[in-house]
Amino acid sequence: MPKIHPTATVDADARLADDTEVGPGCVIEPGVVIGPGCRLREHVVVRRGTTLGSGNIVDAFCVFGGEPQDLKFDPADETYLIIGDDNVFREGVTISRATTPGNATRIGSRTYWMVGSHAGHDATVHDECILINGSAVGGHATVGRAAILSGNVLIHQYTWIGERVMTQGISGYSAHLPPFTMGAAINGVVGLNTVGLRRAPDVTAEDRKQVKEAYRLLYRSGLSLEAALAEMDAREDWGAPAGRFREFIRAVVTAEPPYKRPLANPRRRS
125 and 218 in a single domain? The answer is no
CA separation (Å) from 243 to 128, 237, 240, 248?
Answer: 20, 9, 5, 9
Residue 129 and residue 204 in one domain: no
For residues 215 and 129, state if they share a domain.
Answer: no
The residue type of 214 is A
Which of the residues 139, 151, 162, 172 is marked catalytic?
139
- Is 191 part of the annotated catalytic residue set? no
What DSSP state is assigned to residue 109? S
pLDDT digits (tens, 9 = 90+) for 223-258: 999 999 999 999 999 999 999 999 999 999 999 999
Q: Cβ contacts of residue 51 below 8 Å, gap of 6+?
A: 32, 33, 34, 35, 80, 81, 82, 83
The boundaries of the domain holding residue 242 are 199-266
Q: What is the mean pLDDT of residues 194-198?
A: 96
Task: Please name which of 269, 270, 264, 268 lies closest in space to residue 249, comparing C-alpha atoms.
Answer: 264
DSSP 258: T
Q: Residue 269 has what pLDDT?
A: 59
Same-domain check for residues 21 and 113 = yes
Q: For residue range 197-230, what is the model confidence (pLDDT) as tens digits?
A: 999 999 999 999 999 999 999 999 999 999 999 9
At residue 268, the pLDDT reads 65
- For the chain, what is the radius of gyration of the CA atoms? 20
Confidence class for position 74, pLDDT limits 50, 70, 90:
very high
Catalytic residue check, 156: no
Are 216 and 119 in a shared domain?
no
- Quick one: 11 and 114 in the same domain? yes
Inside any domain, residue 12: yes
Distance CA 23, CA 26 (A): 6
Residue 215 one-letter amino acid? Y
- Position 18 in a domain: yes
> What percentage of the chain has pLDDT greater than the value 70?
99
Are 91 and 62 in contact by the 8 Å Cβ rule? The answer is yes
- Supply the pLDDT for residue 95: 99
Cis before residue 258, ω within 30 degrees of 0?
Answer: yes
Q: Does 270 score more than 60 pLDDT?
A: no
pLDDT value for 267: 79
The CA distance from 89 to 62, in Å, is: 8
Which residues on adjacent β-strands are paired with residue 143?
125, 161
Residues 19 and 100 in one domain: yes
Q: Does the annotation count 5 as an active-site position?
A: no
102 and 204 share one domain: no
Q: Is residue 85 part of a domain?
A: yes
pLDDT digits (tens, 9 = 90+) for 81-135: 999 999 999 999 999 999 999 999 999 999 999 999 999 999 999 999 999 999 9
Catalytic residue of the set 121, 126, 140, 176: 121
Question: How many distinct structural domains can be found in the chain?
Answer: 2
Pairing of strands 45-46, 63-66: parallel
Mean pLDDT for the stretch of residues 146-155 = 98
Query: Is position 191 within any domain?
Result: no
* 125 assigned to some structural domain: yes
The residue annotated as part of the active site, out of 59, 92, 120, 122, is 122
Residue 40 domain-assigned (yes or no): yes
Residues 20/6, Cβ–Cβ less than 8 Å: no
Q: Which of 116, 140, 164 is the last residue of a domain?
A: 140
- Residues 135, 258: one domain? no
Give the mean pLDDT of the chain.
97
Q: Looking at the DSSP assignment, which residues form a beta bridge with residue 188? A: 184, 265
| DSSP secondary structure letters along 61-126 | T-EEEEPPS-TT--TTS--EEEE-SS-EE-TT-EEEPPSSTT-EEEE-SS-EE-TT-EE-TT-EE-
Judge if 209 and 115 occupy the same domain.
no
Among 114, 140, 166, identify where a domain stops: 140
Q: Is 236 buried (19+), middle (13-18) or exposed (0-12) by CB count in 10 A?
A: exposed
C-alpha–C-alpha distance, residues 142 and 172, integer Å: 14
Q: Is residue 51 assigned to a domain?
A: yes
CA distances from 241 to 113, 115, 125, 138, 247 (A): 25, 31, 19, 26, 10
184 domain residue, yes or no: no
Q: What is the CATH number of the domain that holds 239?
A: 1.20.1180
CATH number at residue 19: 2.160.10.10
Question: What count of other Cβ atoms lies within 10 Å of the Cβ of residue 233?
Answer: 11
